[in-house]
């Protein structure tokens, strides 16, 4: 009887360990915490949300894709490589959708990704419409707005593109936007 109880505990230990609520969900990619801290001017700029890169077997991290952390001093990425990374994210995760929102003055695609939970990506058009409705107070009353807010979910939009300065220098620009609709998006 003691042997049977011991075997049951031994075999169920991995299952029980996986169900522990205090187990961290994101394990940092090895070396990412140190590299980010080294490239950050002051520790007060780091929060737990940006102090490391979560390790993943499915989604390529910026460090694995580009060979360095993003934001490293003196390191910029051109728009072609940045767009390749956004495509790789969309291919690797059902929580990311890649699309083009127009063309630049130079004829290049302006691309963007939407990042949300899987249900948010599946219902992206409905959520865009709800957000546009909330943005115009003439289209919805207070009760309707409350319903749209309750049914909504956060979606983040990220684009990577070049910006030309007056001196025709090229600078990298990563934009994180949580608003919609964008010009030329329909």
C-alpha to C-alpha distance for 184 and 61, rounded to whole angstroms: 30
Q: How far is CA 99 from CA 7, 59, 109, 114, in A?
A: 53, 18, 10, 8
- pLDDT tens for 96-130 read 999 999 988 888 888 999 999 999 999 999 998 99
Question: What stretches of 116-167 adopt beta strand conformation (E)?
Answer: 156-164
Asked whether the predicted pLDDT for residue 164 surpasses 90, the reply is: no
Predicted TM-score (pTM) of the model is 0.66
């Amino acid at each position: 009887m003691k042997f049977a109880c011991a075997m049951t505990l031994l075999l169920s230990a991995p299952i029980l360990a996986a169900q522990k609520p205090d187990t961290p969900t994101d394990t940092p990619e090895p070396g990412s915490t140190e590299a980010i801290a080294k490239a950050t001017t002051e520790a007060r700029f780091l929060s737990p949300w940006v102090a490391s890169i979560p390790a993943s077997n499915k989604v390529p991290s910026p460090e694995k894709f580009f060979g360095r952390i993003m934001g490293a001093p003196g390191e910029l990425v051109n728009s072609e490589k940045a767009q390749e990374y956004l495509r790789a994210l969309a291919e690797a995760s059902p929580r990311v959708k890649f699309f083009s929102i127009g063309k630049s003055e130079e004829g290049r695609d302006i691309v963007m990704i939407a990042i949300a939970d899987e249900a948010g990506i599946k219902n992206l058009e409905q959520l865009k419409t709800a957000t546009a409705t909330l943005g115009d107070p003439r289209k919805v009353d207070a009760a309707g707005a409350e319903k749209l807010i309750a049914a909504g979910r956060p979606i983040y939009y990220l684009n990577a593109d070049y910006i030309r300065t007056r001196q025709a220098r090229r600078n990298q620009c990563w934009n994180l936007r949580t608003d919609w609709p964008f010009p030329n998006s329909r």
